[in-house]
Amino acid sequence: MSSLLKITIEVLGVTLPIFAVIAIGFFIKKRGVISDENVPVLNKLTYNFGLSALVFIQIAENKFSDIFDAKLLKVLFPTYFSYIIIIFFALFFTKINLRTRSAMIVSSFRNNMAFIGMPILLYAFGALASAKASIVIAFLLPLNVILTALFFQFFGMKGDSKNTDSKSNVEGNGNGRSRVSIGRMLKEIFLDPVIIAVIAGLIISYFNVSLPKPVSSIFNILSDMAVPLALISIGASFKFSHVRNNLKYISIISAAKLILFPLISLMFSLYVFKLDSLDMSTLCILFATPVAVATYIQGQKYDTDTNFISSVIITSTIASAVSLTMWLFILKMINS
């Protein structure tokens, strides 16, 4: 068997089962097994217990020196901020509705690293890659929460200044727009179960503590439910009703997120900081993931275009079945 065919089969063996389970989640919801009211509960259960347990046990069972690599951060932050600056200035001067513009900018940098990125890394590159991904998520989660609030608030204030004393005020705006609360954001960040799991796991890993067998078994059982529940909940969250209305802008944001974002990461990894193959692959796949469902949840707190956000979550997730397969193939070719 040629190496090209072998890599192709290996890549498809990772991505096809993952997106098949997402499709199963969609059809389970369509058949009424899961109701609209059940989906948020399923998301919380997956995130608070399954994913947190997975993050903790994978960090705790690996050496601290293997997980925490400063070179990883050297690529992480330049990629993240370079991409956001490009997107911000590309959209800032357009005549797109302010509510939609803020939704486009935020959707472009909020990645579903936890529910899609970690399963792909786990099955494609092993537990160490998934543990490294947990560190990346822990660093980016606070930034994502803060920047999301600031972008929504910034465009909200612009909307207020343009629409003062006008009946064409942004729909649902009034005086009820959520204002940035530093205390609320800090609480949201430091009480996040995944952040707590990362910190606890790093402490165990750093001091090389061996978990008692019953304790590790509990976390292993909980972590086993993380991947299937996460994928099913993504599929169950899909609603296609608003996709047609914003197809042009959805396509632009999906392309930027799924192609430009990981491409910037790959360029920094290969030509600027020269990361090893595992770190490079970890960052590239994480930045190639579709829009996070949490974007919609946080968007509901502000006067933004949540219909656009829900539509781009659906579209980017479907498109990522192809784009993530492509990126895995490229990374396997580079590393072979």
DSSP letter (8 states) at residue 291: B
CATH class of the domain whose range is 3-164+178-335:
mainly alpha
Question: What are the residue boundaries of the structural domains of the chain, listed by start?
Answer: 3-164+178-335
What CA–CA distance (Å, rounded) separates 323 from 256?
12
Q: In this predicted structure, what is the pLDDT of residue 96?
A: 86
What CA–CA distance (Å, rounded) separates 256 from 238?
21
What CA–CA distance (Å, rounded) separates 266 from 261?
9
What string of pLDDT tens digits covers the 336 residues of the chain?
566 777 778 788 888 888 898 899 889 988 888 888 888 888 788 888 888 888 898 888 888 887 777 888 899 999 999 999 999 999 988 888 888 899 999 999 999 998 889 889 988 999 899 889 988 988 888 888 888 888 887 776 565 555 544 333 333 444 444 555 677 767 777 788 888 888 898 899 889 888 999 999 999 999 888 878 888 887 887 777 767 777 889 999 999 999 999 999 999 999 999 899 999 999 999 999 999 877 876 676 777 888 888 889 889 988 999 999 999 999 989 987
- Residue 286 and residue 108 in contact, taking contact as beta carbons nearer than 8 Å: no
* Among 154, 153, 131, 151, CA closest to 143: 151
What CA–CA distance (Å, rounded) separates 118 from 114?
5
pLDDT digits (tens, 9 = 90+) for 131-161: 899 889 888 888 888 888 888 877 765 655 5
What CA–CA distance (Å, rounded) separates 177 from 129?
40
Q: In this predicted structure, what is the pLDDT of residue 84?
A: 96
What CA–CA distance (Å, rounded) separates 107 from 272?
27
Q: In this predicted structure, what is the pLDDT of residue 176?
A: 47
What CA–CA distance (Å, rounded) separates 308 from 111?
16
Tokens of 39: 């989906």
Query: Is 139 in a helix, a strand, or coil?
Result: helix
Amino acid at 333: M
